[in-house]
Amino acid sequence: MNPSQSLLLRLSPAGGQHALLRLVDSCRAAAHLPTLRAAHARLFLLQHLPSAAVARVKLIQAYAACSALPAARAVLTSSPDRTTVYFNVLLRALTAASLHREALVLFASMRPRGPSCSPDHYTYPLALKSCAASGSLRLGVQIHASIARLGLDANLFVAHSAISMYARCGCPDDAYQVFDEMQHRDVVSWNAMISGFAHAGLFERAVLIFRQLVGLHCPQPDAGTMASILPAMGNAKAEDITFVREVFDKMRFRGLISWNAMLSIYAINGLHVKAVELFMRMEKDGVEPDGMTLATVLPSCGQVSAFSLGKRIHEIIKRKRMCPNMLLENALMDMYANCGCLKDAREVFDAMGSRDVISWTSIISAYGVRGHGTEAINLFENMLGQGLEPDSIAFVALLAACSHAGLLDVGKRYFDCMTSRYQITPKPEHYTCMVDLLGRAGCISEAYDFILAMPIKPNERVWGALLGACRIHSNMDIGLLAADSLFRLVPDQTGYYVLLSNIYARAGRWAEVTSVRCVMASKGIKKLPGASNVEIRDQVHTFHVGDRSHPQSEMIYKKLDELLGRIRGMGYNPGVEGTLHDVEEEEKEGHLSVHSEKLAIAFVLINTSPGTPIRVTMNLRTCSDCHHAAKLISTITDREIILKDINRFHHMVQGVCSCRDYW
């Protein structure tokens, strides 16, 4: 018997009304429902309850908190002295439970019951919230008109709800009119307008309002401001991200919501190093993360191979007993996979109590990008055996796995299965995978014909896959056709000019190489510099080609010279045929020897103990010379080397790469 039930037994019907009401107040979960019903029955036995109205309000609140909304409605319906307060309590419960249609029906029933049940300044915000959530613009406009007639439009809570209603119902200009006509605005007013523009997809206007708020200096931005601007910060300008960070840094009170918002802004914009650094500062400041924090930062750990931090976060999750939690478990699996730890990723996957299609897709992709095509296919078939139906993203992962492993016929069969059995209409991503699959297998003409037969217009990624295949197989004729299409679609995309230049260089067509580079120079297009990230003791270090900015540069270059000398003794000869044709052979070798991934490998070797795996994350495709050198270095140092480039993983052990040189 729990203490509440014991108390009920001690209370007589003739007394203890205050204790009963306190007991009703304490019922706030579904498990408390039996106690609440018993307390309700005892209260009903009291013939002359001095505070009957208070008791009914408390009962409605308690039943709603216990997820017993029919019982809460019954209390309201059976009350002889119904007032606006009763309706407001139930309305709040219905909106909190996302029962917006029911809330609006209840709202509509108030006024016909007489003046004692007329909506007030607490009612209208709740009704407008339900209009916003259910897309009931016409009713929302009618309610707003009633508000204006009653003179309640000056009320801040009412105005904020009207702004949100118009914005979420697709009328941002009407929302701004309400905002603009407000005589007094607090920070919630600004937050509502920022959020309204953000949810309407008017990101620049949301950022403009954010900047205006900051420029006023009063009111000060708060956690709500950070949460409101977040949806507008996808693919944000660098200066806007910097501005939001400055605002964040100046906030006097940075709660968890603000930290999570800033972390998300960095993560969704691909600023993963900054996200990792911000999380470590959060830890230093003693801010306790929640599940959302960890689910946000884990993908960033994976993107920069911050393995030790990711593993520490896993320990936090275990210590706080946050699992089972599919969002966190999927994020953990992705982190381990992206850090090159397939074994750990599989352990997380195998330990999951339940898995959705996202979970299966993640592990299929993890095997696929390593060239383990057969294992990826087996996992896909196991998913089907569990009764889950694959979505379009699952097929992208599967087709990519076939491409990386060179499983041409299998990939074709699954592409046909996707459309015929599952009626999934192929998207550009699926066509890109098929072109890549055909191209890598050397079927360049078939890949080109496949593009011409596509029922949708091929985008840059489709043509880019074909151009990449032409580079691998030195097919200049089709490569020129692909390049022509690309330059019409994305005339300023650096990578495709570089690919075309490489095709010419491999064929020894140096005049054409010069011509491509002249075009790039005339358009102001510069080759994206290669960058490699490695993590040592929770700190991410970034290297660029020829980088000498690192404090350990002298030691790094000394170690690199030693490594290159040793692998030359094993037959290593720098692949200079496609680089910088207008410099001497020695300079070509020198340029290749200081590529960012080689510097990163040397740095890890001088800062870790023997046997420690070397994990390097790159922003570009690794070159064939660095790939060959890394395989040999894995042999002479007896280290696993995991290179993650923009396309796939290269897991090297004792001179053998997981890609089997098919990449």
DSSP 274-336: HHHHHHHHHHHTTPPP-HHHHHHHHHHHHHTT-HHHHHHHHHHHHHTT--S-HHHHHHHHHHH
Burial code (b: 16+ CB inside 10 Å, e: under 16) for 432-464 equals: bbbbbbbbbbebbeebbebbeeeeeebbbbbbb
Assess whether pLDDT exceeds 70 at residue 246. yes
pLDDT of residue 50: 59
Spatial CA neighbour of 429 closest among 474, 459, 403: 459
User: Using one digit for the tens of pLDDT, what is the confidence trace for 64-106?
Assistant: 888 899 998 999 988 888 899 999 999 999 999 899 999 999 9
Cα–Cα distance measured from residue 576 to residue 568, given in angstroms and rounded to the nearest whole number = 14
| Coil/strand/helix, residue 65 | helix
CA atoms of 26 and 463, how far apart (whole Å): 64
Q: Which of 3-17, 27-41, 125-139, 180-194 has the lowest mean pLDDT?
A: 3-17
Looking up tokens 């009931």 gives 136
Q: How confident is the model at residue 47 (pLDDT cuts 50, 70, 90)?
A: low
Burial 190-207 (b: 16+ CB within 10 A, else e): bbbbbbbbbbbebbebbb
Residue 127 CA to residue 144 CA, distance in Å, equals 10
pLDDT band at 647 (very low <50, low <70, confident <90, very high): confident
Q: Report residue 265 as tokens.
A: 């802004």
Q: Which of 49-63, 73-87, 96-110, 308-322 has the lowest mean pLDDT?
A: 49-63
Question: For 543-586, how does the pLDDT look when each residue is reduced to its tens digit (9 = 90+)?
Answer: 998 889 999 999 999 999 999 999 999 988 876 444 443 333 33
Q: Which of 252-266, 267-281, 506-520 has the lowest mean pLDDT?
A: 506-520
Contacts of 500 (CB under 8 A, 6+ apart): 467, 479, 480, 483, 516
DSSP state of 620: S
> Residue 532 in 3-state DSSP?
strand
**C-alpha–C-alpha distance, residues 269 and 266, integer Å:** 5
Residue 432: band (very low, low, confident or very high) from pLDDT cuts 50, 70, 90: very high
The CA-atom distances, in angstroms, between 422 and each of 19, 218, 394, 543 are 61, 56, 12, 45
State pLDDT tens for residues 196-229: 999 999 999 999 999 999 999 889 999 999 999 9
CB 438 within 8 A of CB 408: yes
- Stretch 113-132: mean pLDDT, rounded? 95
Supply φ then ψ for residue 522, to 5 degrees.
-70, -30
Contacts of residue 282, Cβ cutoff 8 Å, sequence gap at least 6: 259, 263, 289, 293
Q: How far apart are CA 116 and CA 435, in angstroms?
A: 70
Amino acid 3: pLDDT = 52
Work out the average pLDDT over 656-663.
82
Beta strands at 649-653 and 614-618: parallel, antiparallel or unpaired: unpaired
d(CA 384, CA 417): 13
Residues paired with residue 356 on neighbouring β-strands, in sequence order: none
pLDDT given for residue 44 in this prediction: 76
What distance in Å separates the CA atoms of residue 224 and residue 70, rounded to the nearest whole number? 33
For tokens 């509509």, the residue is 108
Asked if 554 and 603 count as a contact pair (C-beta separation under 8 A), the reply is: no
CA-based max dimension of the chain = 104
pLDDT for res 527: 75
| The pLDDT of residue 17 | 79
Is the separation of the CB atoms in 459 and 426 below 8 Å? Answer: no
CA-CA distance, 422 to 419, in Å (whole number)? 6
Residue 575 is predicted with a pLDDT of 60
Q: Which residue has the higher pLDDT, 613 or 2?
A: 613
Neighbours of 33 (CB within 10 A): 17
Helix and strand numbers (H, E) in the chain are 35, 6
Average pLDDT, the chain: 90
| Model pLDDT, residue 406 | 93
CA 657 to chain centre: 30
State the Cα–Cα distance between residues 414 and 421, nearest whole angstrom: 10
Residues 6+ apart with CB under 8 A from 556: 550, 599, 602, 603, 606
**Cβ(298)–Cβ(310) under 8 Å?**
yes
